[in-house]
Amino acid sequence: MDFRRTKKSRRALSTVAITTGLLLAVAGCGGGGDDDKASSTGSSSTPSAKDQGDADKEESQAPAADPVLAEVKAGGLTLQVMSASRDEGGFVTVEGKVTNGTGAPWVGADWRGDENELVKNGGSIAGASLLDTAGKKKYLVLRDTEGRCLCTRFTGGVGTGDTTEWFAQFPAPPEGTTNVDFQVGSMPPASIEISEGE
């Protein structure tokens, strides 16, 4: 009888030992993962695929330079036309930038045109025009019912070395007309292409 008890005790002890061993083995394999972290954070000279992907994302998100349709210079001023878009309402919106390199503040007095509403439009780009040479037609900046131009007014002028954005709206040339000349003040004409609005 003592022999049977000893045999049962050994079996129980063996079972406990095996179970404990298995539990320790499983815990060791699936543990806290510190070893993996240490190896992945080690100083490696080659970037991982994930790091490379992140770097590519950052490069693609860098701001692209604004496209310039045309640029003309005269008297220390630089005029850039950035876009000319035909809108559904039957007009064309032309947008751009002007940089004052004259060495003095600039108010756009010679850009306001010869209209009677000088007080309302002051220093502005109201004197701009689009010239359709093929159709032999000139389009002037649109005005509201009170004579104010649908364009940028350079309130306070443009400081020396400063750049400011501008816009002007014109009646739309016929749909087949895409190439026109933009002209304002004493600036040379700038050949631009009208794109269809989205």
Task: Summarize pLDDT for 95-106 with one digit per residue, the tens.
Answer: 999 999 999 999
Q: What is the pLDDT of residue 89?
A: 87
Spatial distance between the Cα atoms of 15 and 22, rounded to a whole number of angstroms: 11
Tens of pLDDT, residue by residue over 102-157, are 999 998 888 887 665 555 667 889 999 999 998 899 999 999 888 888 999 888 88
Counting runs of H as helices and runs of E as strands, what totals does the chain give? Answer: 4, 9
| pLDDT of 39 over the 50 cut | no
Find the mean pLDDT for residues 14-31. Answer: 52
Q: What is the pLDDT of residue 54?
A: 56
CB 170 within 8 A of CB 142: yes
Spatial distance between the Cα atoms of 147 and 116, rounded to a whole number of angstroms: 9
- Kindly report the three-state secondary structure assignment for every residue of 2-68: HHHHHHHHHHHHHHHHHHHHHHHHHHHHCCCCHHHHHHHCCCCCCCCHHHHHHHHHHHHCCCCCCCC
Q: What is the pTM of this model?
A: 0.65
Length of the chain: 198
Residue 51 Rama label (left phi>0; alpha psi -120 to 50; beta): alpha
Spatial distance between the Cα atoms of 68 and 82, rounded to a whole number of angstroms: 5
Higher pLDDT, 151 or 45: 151
Spatial distance between the Cα atoms of 26 and 177, rounded to a whole number of angstroms: 77
Tally of CB atoms within 10 A around 49? 7
Which residue(s) pair with 149 in the sheet? Answer: 143
CB 79 within 8 A of CB 68: no
